[in-house]
Structure 1
Amino acid sequence: MISDTPPRIVIGWDLGGANVKATRLCDGEVSDIAQWPCPLWQGLDFLQDVLARARLRWPDCATAEHAVTMTGEMADLFPHRQAGVVALAAAMAEVFGPRVRFYAGAAGWVPHDAVEAAWLQVASANWSATAQLVASRVPDAVLVDIGTTTSDIIPIRAGTVAAHGQDDAGRLASGELVYSGVARTPLCALARRIAFNGVAYNVMNELFATTADVYRLTGELPAEHDPHPPADGGAKTLAATRQRLARMIGMDAREAGNTAWRTFADAWREAQLAELEDNLRRVLEAHAARGGVAGAPLVAAGCGHFLARELAQRVGVPCLTFEKVLRLHSAHALWARVCAPSAAVALLYDAQRDMRECGKPASQPVATGTREGTGEEAVCGS
């Protein structure tokens, strides 16, 4: 029998300062995931364009429920973070109306008219949503979400998110937030001196190259995870990439062979891994001092998940990928890993809604998993 009941659509949004990610649920199942570049520092018009593209991709956006988390309030478009949270919330409410709720961590879900009062809890809470979801499936773990710009290292103990810091500043102090990612990080932030062909060089402190150049040469960064222009606004060919790396030590790419530049990329890769490992060990040591469980698995998420796998090997723990934690095996599995916070807020909100319909109290975010997806193809971007 065919039901006359329309499907329940929930769209989870992660509004970043460089990319917007969205996950669409249909009756509790992941049906599509998308990511669009959105350089917020250049203006809110870019977010409006993304939302227009989302409405074309998902015509039922108008009747869907929307669960939103964000980090874009940090963009220097805004005079301060509160203004950023309020502006981003207003943009979402203007397009989607009263069917929008904003994730505020332990404070639960807030409507648009309550965002300004709860702005501090709404600001940069996407890591909390992902960790809440993981905690429901893996009671003892460390979530490592490495994206284009930042890395989150979040301890989970006894099914509870055990982060020491609760905002960006606190997590930067604890090592749970590292402003280092696999696409947008300037290489001059990773090392003061670096070796090339057996000689150590001072690094040029200029925005000549980013980590996208490194992982483009190593073959670990697919084009769909590399949507922004290079540092020089040039091409993303391997030849142009080698030239940008060469500038970091005052050279031209023609002064050495391709193998030498690939080895140079590996040196930058190691510099980034060393910084991430240092912070992971700092978090693990602090977690152990508070009763953490030794040997807990690392849960890898983000487009830099390949580095998370290596970090797990270095500290001697098992590695699980985010989509396997959710037991998601559809065509959307990889994109769920890359766009983990958007999947998390969609699933958390959907579970909260189920509890309300069952007459149970649901004032706090509820972590849950997901059933297998529909098998539709997920393509990142439009």
Structure 2
Amino acid sequence: MGEPAGAAAGQGTVDAARVVGVDLGGTKIAAALVAEDGTCGEVRTVPTPGAEGPEALLAAVTDLVRDVLAGDGRLAAVRGGERATSGDRLPLGGGRSVAVGIGAAGAIDRDQGVVVSSTDTLAGWAGTPVAARLRDALGVPVAVLNDVDAHALGEARHGAAAGAGSALVVAAGTGIGAAVVLDGDVLPGAHHMAGEMGHLPVPGAEGLFCACGREGHLEAIASGVGLAHLYAALTTDALTSREIVALADRGDAAAQETVRRSATALGRGLAGVVTVLDPEVLLLTGGLAEAGDLWWSSVEAALRADLVDHLADIPLRLGALGPRAAIVGAAEAARDLLAVPMPTPSTPPTPSTPPTPSTPPTPSTPPTPSTPPTPSTPPTPSTPPTTPPATPPSLPPAT
């Protein structure tokens, strides 16, 4: 089996900041206070109301977080058809900083805290603005990331990949999920899908259908569901992956062949991704990673057989945090929010005193209109002379 590394999660004293990690899964929601060293307080769980839609999911998470912070034991489970209310509970912070991290199924836009895409397991989940809605409900900073990314972040900071500059963390359980860790944080990818190797086409998966509806993907043969489908194809018997592994442990030939083929497909898929990424450490987690020596030896043999010599000695480790890894990683994402200083709003400049408007010039007194000239008295017509005109000269007498 791969080498375990890192410290397992356990009971611890939470630090001055109260940080809650939440693992929102398809069947249950688990939450706990998480200390700076990665240790968890009591993990509380409630059933996931996945078929009831986003409103019910967000209400369940809100109530559970309040219960964890209050520590009063009143879980937000459905009792007698009524959901417990939280209006009378203690203040969230108790005078200390509080933040909440959510690891949730689906492709998550981590910057915006929005579900980009999701399967039908959580009805109507795609498009839900999880961070904004929970921030409004709880009044505290909320970080949201994919559940496998949360799992990887927990292992990278406090588990089997702690101290590694880079790691590929693969969760093999009901499905196949993976995340790429670089310098202690998870790479999201341009479309929030970095590391999703479950949808790689692999040899051996021909004729088997993935949950995405396509044939021949890694998840169709290497996941717990894929293992059960492969066994049914080989035997026509319908058993769960847990039952098949138990049969293999007891020496059942068909069960052993199923486990070997499923694990070999995973090993070959891992070799392809390791060749592309060249991580410092390869980590396997999830329920199938605990399936026993036959499963683990088959994965490792196929992995190392397909790797070039220069990569063939990559450390292959078993996750250290177990089912609490996603809770720890979600809390780490929330703690990162608290570590970022809030920008201090700049003091708005004191508005300059507007210049006193100059006194408008006193309008000059309009000139007094000149008195129109007195019209001159028309000249008195001259008096005709009173002297009678001169007597005209006498004509000389005719001769």
In structure 2, C-alpha distance between the alignment counterparts of 1:320 and 1:59, rounded to whole Å: 37
Contact (CA 8 Å) 2:168, 2:178: kept in 1 or not?
yes
Which residue number in structure 1 is paired with residue 289 of structure 2? 305
Q: Supply the RMSD in Å over aligned alpha carbons.
A: 4.5
Contact (CA 8 Å) 2:168, 2:282: kept in 1 or not?
yes
Which residue number in structure 1 is paired with residue 315 of structure 2? 318
Contact (CA 8 Å) 2:24, 2:103: kept in 1 or not?
yes
Counterpart AA for 1:190:
L
Which residue number in structure 2 is paired with residue 190 of structure 1? 230
1:131-146 superposed matches below 5 A: 131-132=152-153, 134=156, 137-146=163-172
Contact (CA 8 Å) 1:150, 1:181: kept in 2 or not?
no
Which residue number in structure 1 is paired with residue 52 of structure 2? 43
In structure 1, C-alpha distance between the alignment counterparts of 2:271 and 2:191, rounded to whole Å: 19
> How big is the shift at 1:319?
2.7
Instruction: Provide the secondary structure at the position in 1 that maps to 2:322.
Output: helix
> How big is the shift at 1:71?
0.7
Which residue number in structure 2 is paired with residue 339 of structure 1? 324
Contact (CA 8 Å) 2:20, 2:31: kept in 1 or not?
yes
Q: Which has the greater radius of gyration?
A: 2
Counterpart AA for 1:70:
A
User: Which is further off, 74-83 or 61-70?
Assistant: 74-83
Change (3 A) 1:6 1:91: same
Change (3 A) 1:343 1:169: closer
Which digits, 9 at most, give the CA deviation of each residue in 1:266-322, with x for residues without a partner?
3332233133223212212333xxxx25xx432233333335854345424323344
Select the residue among 100, 107, 117 that pairs with 1:66.
Answer: 100
Which residue number in structure 1 is paired with residue 80 of structure 2? none
Which residue number in structure 1 is paired with residue 239 of structure 2? 209
Which residue number in structure 1 is paired with residue 41 of structure 2? 32
Instruction: Provide the secondary structure at the position in 2 that maps to 1:10.
Output: strand
In structure 1, C-alpha distance between the alignment counterparts of 2:255 and 2:247, rounded to whole Å: 7
Residue 150 in structure 1 maps to residue 175 in structure 2: yes
In structure 1, C-alpha distance between the alignment counterparts of 2:175 and 2:339, rounded to whole Å: 33
Counterpart AA for 2:338:
R
Which residue number in structure 2 is paired with residue 21 of structure 1? 30
Counterpart AA for 1:13:
V
Which residue number in structure 2 is paired with residue 279 of structure 1? 269
Aligned length: 263
Change (3 A) 1:81 1:174: farther
Identity of aligned residues (%): 14
Which residue number in structure 2 is paired with residue 76 of structure 1? 120
In structure 2, C-alpha distance between the alignment counterparts of 1:352 and 1:30, rounded to whole Å: 19
Change (3 A) 1:306 1:41: same
Question: Which structure 1 segments of 5+ residues have no match?
Answer: 105-124, 195-200, 220-258, 324-335, 360-382
In structure 1, C-alpha distance between the alignment counterparts of 2:187 and 2:132, rounded to whole Å: 31
Which digits, 9 at most, give the CA deviation of each residue in 1:108-149, with x for residues without a partner?
xxxxxxxxxxxxxxxxx23334445627721133212223x2
Contact (CA 8 Å) 1:66, 1:101: kept in 2 or not?
yes
> How big is the shift at 1:212?
2.8
Instruction: Provide the secondary structure at the position in 1 that maps to 2:275.
Output: helix
1:153-192 superposed matches below 5 A: 153-156=178-181, 166-167=191-192, 171=196, 172-174=198-200, 179=219, 185=225, 187-190=227-230
- Identify the structure with the greater helix proportion: 1
Q: Under a length normalisation based on structure 2, what TM-score does the superposition of the two structures give?
A: 0.51
Contact (CA 8 Å) 2:104, 2:147: kept in 1 or not?
yes
Counterpart AA for 1:212:
R
In structure 2, C-alpha distance between the alignment counterparts of 1:211 and 1:90, rounded to whole Å: 38
Counterpart AA for 2:303:
V
Which digits, 9 at most, give the CA deviation of each residue in 1:233-285, with x for residues without a partner?
xxxxxxxxxxxxxxxxxxxxxxxxxx56x444333322331332232122123
Change (3 A) 1:285 1:35: farther
Counterpart AA for 1:150:
G
